[in-house]
Amino acid sequence: MVDRPLVADRRGFILANTRLQRPPHTPDIQLHLADEITPIWRMTEAALGDMGVPPPFWAFAWAGGQALARYVLDHPEMVLGRRVVDFAAGSGLVGIAAMKAGAAHALCADIDEFCAAAVALNAEANGVTLGFTAENLLNAPPPDADVILAADISYEQPLAGRVRAWLAEAHARGAAVLMGDPRRSYFATDGLRPLAEYQVETTRELEDFAVKRTGVWTFA
């Protein structure tokens, strides 16, 4: 992908429009986050010269990501010494949690062109090393990983169904698959086993409630 001139310095854009914060449910981790979604969304559109870009998911700690990161930090045996993929990584929160919990390697994957810079900045802020890919992993069989972590992946159909099928394939190939989700409309729980449930503090800027009941799931 060729950088567009207005956003060649994505690192600088993120530093100028976010501040280091500790998500309420994962205070062990600090991230470069925005306080409000609308201003940074508009600035992102202006920087890209495109008024139809998706929201800057990388600029916020979403409920599913916070829950999954908390679970990984509290259950390091799930990732200890293992190769991990943080799918649809956004800020890299879950990948950072995996590395803090002792993963051998964590690859963050996200197709948003700002995420490489966001993940790198957040990894630096937490003293960990993360790999990154902007490839759409859904276009190929699941990678050779021991654990795949996926949070907040059920915002819309048919993408939610496509992701679920891809994760099921990863599970069938032998990977441990953990999902974090506050039971969004398209998150299907059939065939899943709940591992934990949290009351995750979030913001009405992002969600319909200030505290979201959020679960961590795996395949049954």
pLDDT, tens digit (0-9, with 9 covering 90-100), for 71-111: 999 999 999 999 999 999 999 999 999 999 999 999 999 99
Measured distance CA(13)–CA(9) in Å, rounded: 6
Residue 170 lies in a domain: yes
pLDDT of residue 156: 85
Mean of the pLDDT values across residues 57-80? 96
Question: Is residue 4 scored above 50 in pLDDT?
Answer: no
pLDDT of residue 67: 98
Residue 152 lies in a domain: yes
8 or 186, which is more confident? 186
CA atoms within 13 A on the CB side of 163: 23
Question: Is residue 39 scored above 70 in pLDDT?
Answer: no
Measured distance CA(93)–CA(110) in Å, rounded: 12
Measured distance CA(89)–CA(32) in Å, rounded: 14
Residue 55 lies in a domain: no
pLDDT of residue 200: 95
pLDDT of residue 1: 37
Residue 8 lies in a domain: no
Q: Tens digit of pLDDT for each residue in 101-137? A: 999 999 999 999 899 999 999 999 999 999 999 999 9
Question: Is residue 22 scored above 50 in pLDDT?
Answer: yes
Residue whose pair of structure tokens reads 């003293």 in the numeric block: 127
Residue 146 lies in a domain: yes
Give the CATH number, domain containing residue 174: 3.40.50.150
Counting the structural domains of the chain, the total is 1
Q: Domain span at residue 202?
A: 61-219
Residue 9 lies in a domain: no
Residue 184 lies in a domain: yes
Q: Are 90 and 118 in contact (CB under 8 A)?
A: yes
45 or 37, which is more confident? 37
Measured distance CA(123)–CA(119) in Å, rounded: 6
How much of the chain exceeds pLDDT 90, in percent?
71
CB neighbour burial string for 41-68, b if at least 16 within 10 angstroms, e if fewer: beebeebeeeeeeeebbbbbbbbbbbbb
pLDDT of residue 9: 85
Residue 56 lies in a domain: no
Tell which phi-psi region holds residue 127, choosing left (phi > 0), alpha (psi between -120 and 50) or beta: left
pLDDT of residue 55: 72
Mean of the pLDDT values across residues 41-55? 59
